Structure 1
């Protein structure tokens, strides 16, 4: 059985963190899944890569020997991905932009116009990516650049272009729907619609768990913003969203109110480390001008 690059990424993360817990957070996956993948890699290689006990994790001699080779393979694969993306983009002159939620905010027409001026032979293609991929399609190479809500996994450079308060989407007729603003404490015990577990810290952020003294009570998961709001509209639960998205996703069966006691959300342009394509730089700069400077 062949070893996949993903398996090597998992191995390198554990080797660098010397902690399955920290590596799982860094990789945006569940710790049991990470442990299972490492055991699978050891089985395929027929060697132990880590010495483990209840408190410590250490590389074995075999693990120490594999580490520089694994880093080299990952680096070569990333270089190959960039070369392929460059060749494909240059051939079709298309920049694919990933997003989780509708971008709105007047950004698309302004950035499209800016790109048309700077790169008249290029076009933008926008692709919605499920919440289950916290890299918004960047890690898989599905997109060239993304407009995403933070946090995103480490290793992806980003430029914050907008900061918005977090609001809560409530079913019409909810007991809190008549409030002008909802304190975070009032949401304790409410049923929440969550992002998938694979979204990692992003899921926790949109549950308000970064500021709440107790974890939110999750009753369902949604892959997209549309799925989440459909669940809210049906009365299944509540969900957090940004102030701008509260306007973009208006529905008759949902009431949105600002939440006090939460830090604001940050919208950013995100790209792959080592990205050097001129088209990506032009897009990032256009987004920064259009949102940060109000167009």
Structure 2
């Protein structure tokens, strides 16, 4: 019998979190989708893995047996997959770098130029991820290293280093009453509808809604998007406003949108992330050093 490793990963998340809600947030999937996957695994195995109640999900005896063995099985498979892809990358002299929109920005060409200087004959394949994958492909082993926004879900299992911080600004429809202000206090945005990332992104979404900096004031959601173009369109069309890194004013300038500095909200951090196993990978470490050694644009701090 063949079982998709995705089903096993879903099982482990529910077993560790104890509730479908927390497991769904961790996995970036909806709760109904996760429930369906758990039922599918139970059907394939022919056993009941959880006892469901209002307080959460409790492992059955067969479930506990599976929970004891599956993490090591998945870790072994992940290592095999990572090594296989890494070998293929070395053979092709290709480094796969994941990134999210507006991460390293204008520094990216200089980083790549320095890397290719250090590693002649190597090529960097930049792979943009959607906001529903805040690790930019690193958690799934789709890339060797990632330039992204910190914090992100699952980063404790990876190596990370902060490259720089920059202020968070607000993106407003051009005709918004606050668009003419030089600086907008964050408190004045609390009643505004926000354009948000999908709920499955958990605390990544919460960071860009600044949910923990509202003194308990609830967030109003005007639209949900997963791509920069959709995000820009939603703001320009008046469905909501959004917090954004200050650099977005340069990289995502477009008619119909005005960016303004915001006071009373913490800055955003950009970081570099890689797998623990790649501490000994000289190619990955060369790229990391290229990122850490670069001078960053004016207006941001390292």
The TM-score, its normalising length taken from structure 1, stands at 0.90
- Tell me, what secondary structure is at the counterpart of 2:44? helix
* Counterpart Cα distance in 2 of 1:68 and 1:244: 46
In the alignment, structure 2 segments of 5+ residues that lack a partner are none
Equivalent residue, structure 1, for 2:41: 41
Equivalent residue, structure 1, for 2:291: 287
1:23-42 correspondence runs (5 A) = 23-42=23-42
Do structure 1's residue 113 and structure 2's residue 90 form an aligned pair?
no
Q: Deviations over 1:249-289 (max 9, x none)?
A: 22232111122222211111122342342211111121112
More divergent stretch after superposition (274-283 vs 81-90): 274-283
Equivalent residue, structure 1, for 2:207: 205
The aligned length equals 295
The structural deviation recorded for 1:18 is 3.0
Q: Deviations over 1:79-111 (max 9, x none)?
A: 121122112101211112111213455322321
Q: Summarize the Cα distance change of 1:51–1:77 in structure 2 as closer, same or farther, 3 Å threshold.
A: same
* Counterpart Cα distance in 2 of 1:167 and 1:206: 11
Contact residue 194 and residue 221 of structure 1 kept, 8 A: yes
In the alignment, structure 1 segments of 5+ residues that lack a partner are none
The structural deviation recorded for 1:184 is 1.9
* Counterpart Cα distance in 2 of 1:145 and 1:278: 12
Runs of 4+ residues over 4 Å off in structure 1: 291-295
Q: Summarize the Cα distance change of 1:39–1:224 in structure 2 as closer, same or farther, 3 Å threshold.
A: same
Equivalent residue, structure 2, for 1:277: 281
- Tell me, what secondary structure is at the counterpart of 1:267? strand
The structural deviation recorded for 1:291 is 5.0
Q: Summarize the Cα distance change of 1:264–1:102 in structure 2 as closer, same or farther, 3 Å threshold.
A: closer
* Counterpart Cα distance in 1 of 2:35 and 2:291: 39
Equivalent residue, structure 2, for 1:189: 191
Contact residue 159 and residue 268 of structure 1 kept, 8 A: yes
Contact residue 171 and residue 253 of structure 1 kept, 8 A: yes
Contact residue 171 and residue 257 of structure 2 kept, 8 A: yes
Contact residue 195 and residue 241 of structure 2 kept, 8 A: yes
Contact residue 99 and residue 146 of structure 1 kept, 8 A: yes
* Counterpart Cα distance in 2 of 1:20 and 1:69: 21
Q: Summarize the Cα distance change of 1:292–1:48 in structure 2 as closer, same or farther, 3 Å threshold.
A: farther
